[in-house]
Amino acid sequence: MASVGAFDFVARQAQVTALEEQSADPTLWDNPSNAQQVLQRLTRLKAELARWTDVDNRLHMLAEFIEFDDPALADEVAHEYTTLLAEINALETEVLLSGKYDDRDAFLSIKAGMGGTDAQDWAEMLLRTYMRWAEQRGFKCNLVDQSMGDEAGIKSATLEIRGDYAYGLCKAEAGVHRLIRLSPFNSANTRQTSFALIEVLPEVDDAPEVAIKAEDVRVDVFRAGGHGGQGVNTTDSAVRLTYKPGTPEQIVVICQNERSQLQNKETAMRVLRGRLLERELQRQVEERAKLKGEHVKAEFGSQMRTFYLHPYTLVKDHRTDHETSNVQAVLDGALDPFIDAYLRWNVGRM
């Protein structure tokens, strides 16, 4: 197995061959959702290999131009060097996305935590942040489900984010996000600390770690609702899936964004698969940590990032120590520096 942080060209070629064999299987489209994922992954891997091959060829050409030591080529060489350096930096970030499911699409869930109305407002601010970040990256972003707050903001929301390495990038955001500010929701305008939890799940149909039996899932349908309980659909199109109801393993997934009950059920099943896979991956991480004698802490109060709006402005990631005083830019979707810092920090832990 290739080491973390190294690009294994041969392994990628083997993955392309395997996916090409799957795409040629006449039964592939019996499961349209899985077929689309297979073709998307095949397209991404082919494009990735093409980029590495192109950069390698251009580096050899650049070395030859430098050997010529021709002053007439100096500007062209300098421009090509700058361009290649930017492309290599981008490829380096992708190399850090070496997890088994990092190249998949993602579900990102936001849940308001402690802090009452302020926390629900904070959750809605983060929802806007991630939608803007996805838009800036050219990702497709779909609101799967949203539960409105009692007075303002949201109690929870789930986004489906589709794009190259969406899960590998989004998982840098998983954890507790804390906001410290003067509250706009009380007359005294006192300082308030609010929390929101971000959960990130890979979107998969072919994970061997996940097996869902029909008898383990209860399906309920109901009418989708809007703000203040206002109906947004005249049919029972919203779907609630309850996995192993009444057991300690119970998981509840709700999807009501689509107008079709079938579409909502399919999306909810994808979210459920992602949650089961993420739970299994987390179990594996904890098991490895126990074998190493490490203490695994998964407490809600252990925030991974804090946004300070009072008495000063700062965003600080407590894992990587990356920070910026430009809080508004981060809230407007400028998350890439934090994600890049996390990817590099995470490699050092493996």
* pLDDT tens digits, one per residue of 235-256: 678 999 999 998 999 999 999 8
Note the pLDDT tens digit of each residue in 123-145. Answer: 999 999 999 999 999 999 999 99
Question: Confidence band (pLDDT; 50, 70, 90) for 204?
Answer: confident
Question: Confidence band (pLDDT; 50, 70, 90) for 67?
Answer: confident
Statement to judge: residues 24 and 80 lie in one domain: yes
pLDDT at residue number 234: 53
Task: Look at the chain and report how many structural domains it folds into.
Answer: 3
pLDDT at 322 > cutoff 80:
yes
Give the E-state strand segments of 226-343 in sequence order.
Answer: 238-243, 251-255, 305-308, 314-317, 323-324
The answer to whether residue 150 sits within a structural domain is yes
pLDDT at 321 > cutoff 70:
yes
pLDDT at residue number 235: 66
pLDDT at 119 > cutoff 80:
yes
Statement to judge: residues 196 and 319 lie in one domain: yes
Statement to judge: residues 30 and 56 lie in one domain: yes
d(CA 224, CA 38): 32
Statement to judge: residues 283 and 313 lie in one domain: no
Statement to judge: residues 122 and 163 lie in one domain: yes
Statement to judge: residues 85 and 148 lie in one domain: no
The answer to whether residue 228 sits within a structural domain is yes
pLDDT at residue number 135: 97
- Kindly report the CATH number assigned to the domain that includes residue 227: 3.30.160.20
Average model confidence (pLDDT) across the chain: 86
Q: Which residues on neighbouring strands pair with residue 316, listed in sequence order?
A: 306, 323
d(CA 148, CA 120): 8
pLDDT at residue number 137: 94
d(CA 131, CA 157): 11
Q: Which residues on neighbouring strands pair with residue 140, listed in sequence order?
A: 162
In terms of average pLDDT, the best of 51-65, 101-115, 312-326 is 312-326
Compute the average pLDDT of residues 326-343.
Answer: 96
339 lies in which domain range?
Answer: 106-203+304-349
d(CA 185, CA 161): 31
pLDDT at residue number 331: 98
Question: Confidence band (pLDDT; 50, 70, 90) for 348?
Answer: low
d(CA 220, CA 203): 22
The answer to whether residue 248 sits within a structural domain is yes
Note the pLDDT tens digit of each residue in 293-304. Answer: 654 444 455 789
Statement to judge: residues 245 and 131 lie in one domain: no
d(CA 189, CA 200): 33
Last residue of a domain, one of 243, 272, 292: 292
Contacts of 206 (CB under 8 A, 6+ apart): 34, 37, 38
Statement to judge: residues 120 and 89 lie in one domain: no
From the list 263, 259, 240, the residue with the least C-alpha distance to 251 is 240
d(CA 342, CA 231): 41
Last residue of a domain, one of 95, 119, 145: 95
Question: Confidence band (pLDDT; 50, 70, 90) for 94?
Answer: confident
Lowest mean pLDDT among 156-160, 259-263, 277-281, 295-299: 295-299
CB 273 within 8 A of CB 213: no
In the chain, what percentage of residues exceed pLDDT 70? Answer: 90
Statement to judge: residues 157 and 227 lie in one domain: no
Give the E-state strand segments of 138-250 in sequence order.
Answer: 140-148, 154-162, 175-182, 191-202, 217-222, 238-243
pLDDT at 38 > cutoff 60:
yes
Note the pTM of the prediction, 2 decimals: 0.74
d(CA 329, CA 335): 9
Q: Which residues on neighbouring strands pair with residue 191, listed in sequence order?
A: 182
pLDDT at residue number 5: 52
Please, what's the largest Cα pairwise distance for the chain? Answer: 76
Statement to judge: residues 223 and 192 lie in one domain: no
Last residue of a domain, one of 49, 69, 95: 95
d(CA 298, CA 304): 11
Q: Which residues on neighbouring strands pair with residue 305, listed in sequence order?
A: 177, 317
Statement to judge: residues 139 and 189 lie in one domain: yes
| R_g of the chain computed on alpha carbons | 23
From the list 310, 331, 327, the residue with the least C-alpha distance to 192 is 310
The answer to whether residue 129 sits within a structural domain is yes
- Kindly report the CATH number assigned to the domain that includes residue 163: 3.30.70.1660
The answer to whether residue 127 sits within a structural domain is yes
Statement to judge: residues 181 and 324 lie in one domain: yes
Contacts of 229 (CB under 8 A, 6+ apart): none
pLDDT at residue number 97: 86
